[in-house]
Structures are given as structure tokens and as C-alpha cells.
Amino acid sequence: MAVKPRGAVAEGAAPVSEVVATLSDGKKIKRRILFMRACNERDEKGKLCCGHLKRWSDVSQEVKSKFGPDVEVYRCEHCKTLYLPAQGEPARTRHQSF
């Protein structure tokens, strides 16, 4: 069973991260799953990327124009796929849910 953190909004939550946009240079922007920390892109052989998602501070103008100047973007350090925070992702705390 999936762990549901308190306060998380799972609106029709599907266990896949959807591609929300593709940039002009071909990079994909995906929506993260809650608390997801590794890239789930697959290469042409079907192998999972599993690169670490790191906060991307050098957000391009194209991304800002699509998602706003204050958008929080994470980038896979391996395949450079971009990720937006999950919808309903709560502020980072270490609280247990009970």
C-alpha cells in the first residue's frame, strides 16, 4: 500500500508521471510523483534511467514563460529530463503521518 502523507492531495493520482510539455530543444518536462527522487525515464532499450532529480536553478526562459517566473524545476542529472513538483506536494517536513 502506498504511504499517504497527511495533507497530500491525490487528485485522481496515477502512479505514473505525465509528460506536461516538450521544449523546443526536445527536452521533456514531466510532473513528479509525490516524493519521487529518481528519474523514471526509459531509454530505447527500456532501461530505467534512475538519475537523481536535482533542483534546477538555471531555469530557461522558455520554461519560465510556460510555467511562471517562480517555477520550481528539478532536472535529472543523467538524461536532463525536467520535472515539475507533484500537484499537492506539501512543504518538506520530516513529520510522520501518525
Smallest separation, CB 21 to Zn ion (Å): 16
Q: Are 20 and 9 in contact (CB under 8 A)?
A: no
Is 36 near Zn ion (CB under 5 A)? no
DSSP run (H or E) holding 63: helix 61-67
Q: Which position among 29, 59, 63, 76 is part of the footprint of Zn ion (CB under 5 A)?
A: 76
Q: Which stretch binds Zn ion (CB under 5 A): 10-18, 34-42, 64-72, 89-97?
A: 34-42
Cell digits for 37?
527522487
Is 41 near Zn ion (CB under 5 A)? yes
Shorter beta-carbon distance to Zn ion: residue 59 or 81:
81
DSSP character at residue 87: T
Cell digits for 7?
495533507
Is 79 near Zn ion (CB under 5 A)? yes
Q: What phi and psi values does residue 65 have, to the nearest 5 degrees?
A: -70, -25
Chain residues binding Zn ion by CB under 5 A are 39, 41, 49, 51, 76, 78-79
